Amino acid sequence: MKKKKDKKIEEENKSVKKSKNAENTEKAPSSATSEEKVSEIDSIKQLLEISKTEAQGNQDKFLRLNAEFINFKKRMERDKLEFLKYANSNILKTLFPFIDSFEHALKAHPEDEGLTKLFDSLLDILKKEGLEKIQAVGEKFDHDLHDAIGFDKNENFKDDYITLEMQTGYKLKNKVLRHSMVKVNKK
């Protein structure tokens, strides 16, 4: 690239010198031969070709940079949407101990209708925000959704199926926020 520029500068200098010589010869009686004129025309054609090549290179660079910029904008928009989709995940995670306590209270007092209605309305609100429970008992163990904390030998379940859920897992719009802690059947 540098050699081309140096060559271009040399040719431009030659062209300028030839132009000055041409001006000097115009003042004096014309002594320029047709060979010199042909040579000058050839050098101008070479400069034109170099300029065309350089212009094409600049256009290619522009098109590449423009495409990169468009891709950058798309990536930033996608990242922004992804961030907004999961923005409330930290708040929801802080609610998990509260939800767990609520579940324990319901297990201890299943007859308390007020507590049940309150818990159901809380779960409805969270569901509207995209939070959902991970299904566990009776499901096949999936390491992407469940954490096995023990094994059972239960004839009522197939191998690698969950027999007991120790802690409820949750997903937010298909992203796991907390894995279910479960016991898995092994015969």
Break the chain into its structural domains and give their ranges.
2-23+37-85, 89-185
pLDDT classification of 2: cutoffs 50, 70, 90: low
pLDDT tens digits for range 89-123 = 888 888 889 888 888 888 888 888 888 899 899 88
pLDDT tens digits for range 150-171 = 898 878 788 888 988 998 999 9
What's the pTM? 0.56
> What is the pLDDT of the chain when averaged over all its residues?
83
pLDDT classification of 29: cutoffs 50, 70, 90: very low
Q: Inform me whether the pLDDT recorded for 27 exceeds 50.
A: no
Summarize the confidence of residues 121-131 as an average pLDDT: 89
The three state secondary structure string of the chain is: CHHHHHHHHHHHHHHHHHHHHHHHHHHCCCCCCHHHHHHHHHHHHHHHHHHHHHHHHHHHHHHHHHHHHHHHHHHHHHHHHHHHHCCCHHHHHHHHHHHHHHHHHHHHCCCCHHHHHHHHHHHHHHHHCCEEECCCCCCECCCCCEEEEEEECCCCCCCCEEEEEEECCEEECCEEEECEEEEEECC
Return the CATH number of 89-185, one of 3.30.230.70, 2.60.120.560, 3.30.930.10, 2.30.22.10: 2.30.22.10
Q: In angstroms, rounded to a whole number, what is the distance separating the alpha carbons of residues 160 and 171?
A: 22
